């Protein structure tokens, strides 16, 4: 049986069944309301479940300014099912862009060898080139921003897969609200799809349950044949790396600090991206299950 691969609409600062805020006019006239309702209906009609992206512009914004006075925003443009443009930047309360701040550029570049003028463009170009968030190259010296970009790119790709042009709102810096937060891939690859739940209590992650399930409900971590074959090839299998990732998230309480498991790099990266999305959901207190219409391509 030919293998399949997942081009994750991943889709690491932190991912969500996010609180969405409407974009467009706030005019309350019945004419505009009717127009808005029509657009929403059209969006539902064009929504897909096969993981392919619908043409359009998809946007995301952070709600809160950080301790240096910046908050991030991002958009991607999709045409003919491909990302043709990505724009990631930060703005301050005056609307000034970090990429245009000469003083910030000079200070950061002197310290770490890169500045927003360079790394923001590099990240955006990498997404357009690779067409998948998980394949974006982390920029040396800008790891934190790279992690945020990958997380946000994932969520925007998922929005494009669902043809949802509503601006995604990230409640960055907010404390996680108590509850159970869930994410599930809808499509199978290699016979499995990801299921992930995260419990939060007193603002802390108390349990992480990341795994893969087949059509019969069997977990990959219980699949002896898969374990044997993978371990022979890479030195580890789902019986080892899945519990290791879950344990690391609970211990570190920080997606960026989760240890990548040697021999399971792709799964580790996927875990981090989905964990970041769940943390964003927890920051919004949104316990709706996140449905990921992951793209699966046959060889």
The DSSP bridge pattern shows strands 71-79 and 179-185 to be unpaired
Is 78 a domain residue?
Answer: yes
Is 23 a domain residue?
Answer: no
| pTM to 2 decimal places | 0.83
Backbone angles phi, psi at 242, to 5 degrees: -65, -50
Backbone angles phi, psi at 123, to 5 degrees: -65, -45
| Residue 12 pLDDT | 35
| Residue 296 pLDDT | 87
Partners of 181 in the beta sheet?
A: 198
Whether residues 221 and 166 share a domain: the answer is no
By CB atoms closer than 10 A (0-12, 13-18, 19+), residue 161 is: buried
Whether residues 211 and 156 share a domain: the answer is no
Q: For residues 193 and 221, give the distance between their C-alpha atoms in angstroms, rounded to a whole number.
A: 12
Whether residues 119 and 228 share a domain: the answer is no
Of 173, 195, 222, which residue is a domain's last?
173
Whether residues 107 and 210 share a domain: the answer is no
Q: For residues 118 and 120, give the distance between their C-alpha atoms in angstroms, rounded to a whole number.
A: 6
Is 39 a domain residue?
Answer: no
Whether residues 156 and 240 share a domain: the answer is no
Of 149, 173, 197, which residue is a domain's last?
173
Q: Which helix (H) or strand (E) holds 124?
A: helix 116-130
By CB atoms closer than 10 A (0-12, 13-18, 19+), residue 272 is: buried
pLDDT in tens, the chain (299 residues): 433 334 444 443 333 333 333 334 444 444 444 444 434 434 444 668 999 999 999 999 999 999 999 999 999 999 999 999 999 999 999 999 999 999 999 999 999 999 999 999 999 999 999 999 999 999 999 999 999 999 999 999 999 999 999 999 999 999 999 999 999 999 999 999 999 999 999 999 999 999 999 999 999 999 999 999 999 999 999 999 999 999 999 999 999 999 999 999 999 999 999 999 999 999 999 999 999 999 887 53
Residue 27: CB atoms within 10 A of its CB come to 11
Is 290 a domain residue?
Answer: yes
Residue 43: CB atoms within 10 A of its CB come to 16
Of 151, 173, 195, which residue is a domain's last?
173
Whether residues 136 and 188 share a domain: the answer is no
Is residue 206 left, alpha or beta, with left meaning phi > 0 and alpha meaning psi from -120 to 50? Answer: alpha
Whether residues 102 and 70 share a domain: the answer is yes
Whether residues 136 and 224 share a domain: the answer is no
Among 72, 57, 288, which Cα is nearest to 181's?
Answer: 288
Token couple for 195: 């299921």
CATH (domain of 156): 3.90.1010.20
Give how many domains the chain has, as a whole number: 2
| Residue 297 pLDDT | 74
| Residue 46 pLDDT | 63
Is 51 a domain residue?
Answer: yes
Among 254, 291, 292, which Cα is nearest to 272's?
Answer: 254
* DSSP state letter for 70: -
- For the chain, list the strands marked E by DSSP: 4-7, 20-21, 56-62, 71-79, 82-91, 167-170, 179-185, 193-201, 204-213, 290-292, 295-298
Residue 252, domain extent: 176-298
Whether residues 180 and 169 share a domain: the answer is no
Token couple for 242: 């899945």
Residues 46-105 have pLDDT tens digits of: 668 999 999 999 999 999 999 999 999 999 999 999 999 999 999 999 999 999 999 999
């Amino acid at each position: 049986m030919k293998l399949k691969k997942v081009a994750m609409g991943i889709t690491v600062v932190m991912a969500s069944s996010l609180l969405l805020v409407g974009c467009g006019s706030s005019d309350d006239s019945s004419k505009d309301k009717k127009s808005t309702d029509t657009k929403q209906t059209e969006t539902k009609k064009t929504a897909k479940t096969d993981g392919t992206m619908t043409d359009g512009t998809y946007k995301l914004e952070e709600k809160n300014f950080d301790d240096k006075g910046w908050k991030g925003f991002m958009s991607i443009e999709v045409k003919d099912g491909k990302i043709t443009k990505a724009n990631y930047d930060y703005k301050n309360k005056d609307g000034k862009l970090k990429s245009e701040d000469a003083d910030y550029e000079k200070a950061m570049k002197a310290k770490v060898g890169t500045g927003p003028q360079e790394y923001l463009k590099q990240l955006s170009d990498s997404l357009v080139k690779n067409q998948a968030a998980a394949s974006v190259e982390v920029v040396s010296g800008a790891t934190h921003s790279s992690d945020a970009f990958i997380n946000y790119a994932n969520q925007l790709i998922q929005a494009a897969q669902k043809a949802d042009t509503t601006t995604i709102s990230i409640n960055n810096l907010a404390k996680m609200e108590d509850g159970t937060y869930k994410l599930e891939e809808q499509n199978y690859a290699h016979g499995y799809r990801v299921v992930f739940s995260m419990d939060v209590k007193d603002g802390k992650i108390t349990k992480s349950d990341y795994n893969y399930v087949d059509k019969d409900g069997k977990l990959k971590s219980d699949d002896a044949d898969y374990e044997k074959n993978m371990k022979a090839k890479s030195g580890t299998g789902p019986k080892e790396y899945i519990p290791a990732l879950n344990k690391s998230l609970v211990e570190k309480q920080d997606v960026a600090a989760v240890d990548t498991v040697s021999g399971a790099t792709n799964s580790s990266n996927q875990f981090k991206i989905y964990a970041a999305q769940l943390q964003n959901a927890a920051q919004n207190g949104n316990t709706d299950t996140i449905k990921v219409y992951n793209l699966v391509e046959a060889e």
